[in-house]
Structure 1
């Protein structure tokens, strides 16, 4: 009896695996701060900052293939500027952060790899970036800045639209 069950189960499992595509796999191999700068302009100028500053956050993403098969570097660049509100806004603080991750990505079709790297990988890095920003602003003498969740799909679409708009139109 065990011979009969043992013979049919692997065949059935193999048939199922053959019909279903392999799911994408992502593994975070490492994370690092590539560059960081925090300028406490308010302290340098001995100015009093408003209770509710105007905070602007700019995000840029970059992906590069590594020499090892299936491995990629993803860099998230943030520029966060806090300014006073009013007619003559002054910078309160400026935080620039380049945070990177090394990823192994498998089973992603070539045509879907670019969006996968610039949407899914940054989603994995974002909780650490949020924590670094909160810690640095708190340690700089301000209330911790808790970044809102970033929609990396919308950011990817926006950057793609900017690239298409920046390309010169070829003459027909």
Structure 2
């Protein structure tokens, strides 16, 4: 039985291409839940009026590393406009962008990273409302592409850059 030597790598760059986006970690940055009328709010069986706002923002650490965060604000009121609950969640992740052109930063930071973060943030919101004694608030999927396009239109086609502002909807 003979052994053959391993094939030699082709000439050129010996490193494999880098991924366009590397997620380093995800975490709850801030979570606040208020149930100001408890226990009365848990006894009443009324259909609440829900308000929901989701925003995306980022903060730059170095040339290619960012913190991207989803801010989710949800509140419920009775038909008599009495508060049932108020929730605020800032759920974040740190990412490093690979070798991508500058014009890809906006879509990666405002569309792709929020898509990765959203299912986990959604679960935190559902668990927090359930643990507070309410039915779980299951947020419908968010169209981050549409949010990004709305921001582009609002900024006359200027792409939000790294560390610039937030995009969101109510």
- TM-score, normalised relative to structure 2: 0.75
Deviations 1:64-88 (A, max 9, x none): 2212x42111011111011123xx3
Partner of 1:42: 37
User: Gaps (5+ residues) in structure 2?
Assistant: 157-170
Deviation at 1:145?
1.0
Partner of 1:102: 94
Task: Count residues with an aligned counterpart.
Answer: 151
The reply on whether 1:114 has 2:114 as its aligned counterpart is no
* TM-score, normalisation: structure 1: 0.74
Mark the runs of 5 or more structure 1 residues left unpaired by the alignment: 15-21, 165-172
Q: Does 1:158 align with 2:153?
A: no
Q: Partners of 2:55 and 2:155 in 1: how far apart? A: 13
Say whether residues 1:32 and 2:24 are aligned partners. Answer: no
2:61 to 49, 57, 66: 66
Deviation of the 1:115 alpha carbon: 2.4
Q: How far, CA to CA, are the matches of 1:40 and 1:161 in structure 2?
A: 38
Query: How large is the Cα RMSD of the aligned pairs?
Result: 2.8
Instruction: Quote the residue 1:128 is aligned against.
Output: 120
Question: For each residue in 1:80-126, what CA deviation from the matched residue of structure 2 results, as whole angstroms up to 9, or x when unmatched?
Answer: 011123xx322210000111100111132101211220110000001
